[in-house]
Structure 1
């Protein structure tokens, strides 16, 4: 799924567009015991309650593709009879009306989800009547040919509200506030099947993680049975290794800076594209060459890439560079540079020592205090 397809589904989580037929829930305590289960028609919920659920579902479909939202594919064995994919299809086709399937789903989540406190498993079934589109992109709601039937799961931490004081209007006094259990924004979730090319894609799903560094592989494997995608952190580490292995001891500030400048330029050029910019072995090689990596260093690049990332691997540009910051670090000094002004920093030999030189044409602040720039003494 790309960002346009995700946005199209997110738009359904409003009272006017709601396509949700049923909502089920299971509260789990810190000892993995089911404390409460519910199942009801979504449209029967009070309006204020429905709005809060809409917020949770939207959050489950938020964040950058490839970082918080990851497209996952099902291997062939999971689509065999008795596989996880078949179970999810049965669960979807039951429209959440089968208690045995629901209990099995909750058990799968509880067994594999790692969380030490209470949490709330929310599962919805929805049927989106996909409107057709004219050649100019305008939706034609009376020209729908397909229905996208899907499940969306949100796993939300449940925590006690903070202690404090409250005003009791009835008794006109300040008193100790009653602490209650609050459902927080989702930590993990998924939508199945995927919504690809504005249609149902039963061979894929979209997985959500609040923290990209906390993927919870067991949850993906046991509940979805899908191939584990490469996390944003892993992609970033692989790219660092590619730079270090390619340049070796000849890695210098200018070349590394050029690589990140080239990446940022590519991201800017593709920012309006619905698909995230993915870079394969050939793309990364071109970036290195354009950034001034010496030709002799590129002789074994393809082999290095295959050994480090994999022959057919691709890295998302947004995961391997920072577009909002550029940091230069030594053991004792950290310099933060505006990525658009990397040119202000250069390396230079001064008195036989390798130094970073920063051009200062305006003012300088030291601990938020403006200080005069140092003029050249005559």
Structure 2
């Protein structure tokens, strides 16, 4: 795997738009997997429909990918050309981003792909989040202004522990697609938290 440095300030900028009152996350979908990697249930809902407590717990999960130690726990991974052709993970994630996680058939394909390649002795959950961030323009003094310079749409994917009641625990690995770099989308990069997800989805 080939890596590219990320900027800590970029990742922190995104986390500031991941609060209950100021969230840029609009939809979440996922599946509960048994220890054999088989789907045991799924969900797909608008983020705004969640209770404040559910929003808070979900946002805490998403920020794990961004709060990890930059270029150590969280790395920018170049997406190899072998992962960009028809039927590739690159095409699938772009399609999920374009449909804002509203294509259940595509989601199930990804759940099954991860289930076949992620090895766990216990049940776990796969969680996806769709977000869209209006990147504020910055003046010459670097202060943010009200108007947006461009829009950054993204998918966050997570693999998490769950308990016997399907309550979500620790985030084991995850990604931000595309990576956010220099205040914009780095279309050839994915930010990964723990290299496990890179080995599952982007091994080329």
TM more than 0.5:
yes
Question: Residue in 2 aligned with 1:23?
Answer: 28
**CA distance in 2 between partners of 1:225 and 1:131 (Å):** 34
Gaps (5+ residues) in structure 2?
Answer: 1-5
Alignment check: 8 A CA contact 2:32 2:40 kept: yes
- Say if 2:87 is the partner of 1:82: yes
In the TM superposition, residue 6 of structure 1 has moved relative to its aligned partner by: 0.7
Q: Aligned ranges for residues 1-378 of structure 1 at < 5 Å? A: 1-142=6-147, 144-160=148-164, 180-209=165-194, 215-216=195-196, 219-225=197-203
Moved over 6 A (4+): none
**CA distance in 2 between partners of 1:12 and 1:111 (Å):** 34
CA deviations 1:168-204 (Å, max 9, x no partner) are: xxxxxxxxxxxx4431120100000011110111100
**CA distance in 2 between partners of 1:132 and 1:28 (Å):** 42
Q: How many residues align?
A: 199
In the TM superposition, residue 159 of structure 1 has moved relative to its aligned partner by: 2.4
Gaps (5+ residues) in structure 1?
Answer: 161-179, 210-214, 227-378
Question: Residue in 2 aligned with 1:286?
Answer: none
Alignment check: 8 A CA contact 1:154 1:190 kept: yes
Of structures 1 and 2, the one with the larger relative CO (CA 8 A, separation 6+) is 2
Which is richer in helix?
Answer: 1
TM-score by length of 2: 0.91
Relative distance call for 1:190 and 1:12 in structure 2 (3 A) is: same
Relative distance call for 1:182 and 1:83 in structure 2 (3 A) is: closer
CA deviations 1:130-179 (Å, max 9, x no partner) are: 1000111110122x12100000011110125xxxxxxxxxxxxxxxxxxx
**CA distance in 2 between partners of 1:105 and 1:82 (Å):** 11
Question: Residue in 2 aligned with 1:275?
Answer: none
Which is richer in strand?
Answer: 2
